[in-house]
Amino acid sequence: MPQFDHFAAIAPLYARVAYSKTSLMSELAQLPVRGRLLDVGGGTGRVSSALRDLVDEAVIADVSFGMLKQSPRSSLKPVCGGSESLPFADNSFERVIMVDALHHVINHAESAYEMFRVLKPGGLLIIEEPDIRTFGVKLIALAEKLLLMRSHFLAPDAIMKLFSSYANGEKKVHAEDGTAWVVVGK
Ligand SMILES: C[S@@+](CC[C@H](N)C(=O)[O-])C[C@H]1O[C@@H](n2cnc3c(N)ncnc32)[C@H](O)[C@@H]1O
């Protein structure tokens, strides 16, 4: 049975209400960089728009056509597809980011594997997630359950573990103000 697309319903308002520290993302991703950035679960392109001038090309991959429809197609390349099976060749992007989306995907392990697969050797993958170890995020998780959003939040250590069998590069966690960034090098 097809799932209700919560994000398509809120897409026109999403970029106005959502907030994240794009300057910190830029710092952790070591931008600017020559090459391509992939924003998985990138929605309306809210974050990749802010990073667009720091890379040669920015691509957003998202399952929600409604969210992608709100993205600026003149500057970002939208691709409709799920993180569990990304429609890109191995080693295609210098940077891969995922912001506030990992807890929404159906399969964490497959999504992690796919994001790492399309990352170029020497590249960086950064996953930004609400930090489920904090009280405020536990409340958000409860609210999303009540809204039947089938969210499943992982703590930063559990996100790092997703990569443990194949990612031998640097891995680190940065956490502040209820948000965690997991950085994985290839
Ligand atoms: C909370 S929004 C975040 C959007 C964007 N990253 C931002 O921060 O503005 C979560 C996004 O993840 C997308 N999403 C959920 N499951 C997905 C999946 N399996 N693959 C790709 N995108 C997915 C949703 O459609 C939605 O656009």
The pLDDT assigned to 127 comes to: 98
* Of 180, 181, 182, nearest in space to 131 by CA: 180
Q: Are strands 77-80 and 57-62 parallel, antiparallel or unpaired?
A: parallel
The atom of ligand 1 lying closest to the CA of 82 is 20
21-185 is a CATH 3.40.50.150 domain:
yes
Q: What pLDDT is recorded for position 10?
A: 72
Domain positions in the chain: 21-185
Ligand 1: residue whose CA is nearest its atom 8 = 99
Pocket test for ligand 1, best of 3, 21, 104, 108 (most atoms within 8 A of CB): 104
Give, for all 186 residues of the chain, the pLDDT tens digit. Answer: 456 777 777 777 666 666 677 899 999 999 999 999 999 999 999 999 999 999 999 999 999 999 999 999 899 999 999 999 999 999 999 999 999 999 999 999 999 999 999 999 999 999 999 999 999 999 999 998 888 888 999 999 999 999 999 999 999 999 999 999 999 999
Q: What is the pTM of this model?
A: 0.93
pLDDT of residue 1: 44
Please identify, by atom number, the ligand 1 atom nearest to the C-alpha of residue 14.
Answer: 9
Does the beta carbon of 103 sit less than 6 angstroms from any atom of ligand 1?
no
How far apart are alpha carbons 54 and 185 in whole angstroms? Answer: 19
Exposed, middle or buried by CB within 10 Å (0-12, 13-18, 19+), for 118? buried
